Amino acid sequence: MSRTIITHGSTQLMVSSMLVFGGETLHYFALALTIGILFGIYSSVLVASPIVMWLGVSREDLVKPEKKAVAETLSGSHWSFSPPSSISCCISTVTCNGW
């Protein structure tokens, strides 16, 4: 959330300088950008955030697992998978699931 507000704020600062110092040529362009940024802030902060909270999404749901944890999981002694039915033998490092 703070990254969104900081990004919008720094962008609005630059667009505001274009609005004030850009002259008549850039005035309406900067005005349109300002309106767009304000609607973007509104939709990000006041619409999307409450919807995400209502859905029950937490920060932990969005964070990728650490590679160390994935490597430890894959380095286990038994892997389990379902090979195609044409394979009729088991490899010693693979746990066979009832076939």
For residue 18, the one-letter residue type is M
User: Do the Cβ atoms of 1 and 49 come closer than 8 Å?
Assistant: yes
- Tens-digit pLDDT profile for residues 61-89: 778 777 765 555 555 555 555 555 554 44
Q: What confidence score (pLDDT) does residue 93 get?
A: 47
Q: What confidence score (pLDDT) does residue 17 get?
A: 93
**Mean pLDDT across the chain, nearest whole number?**
76
Q: Three-state SS for 52?
A: helix
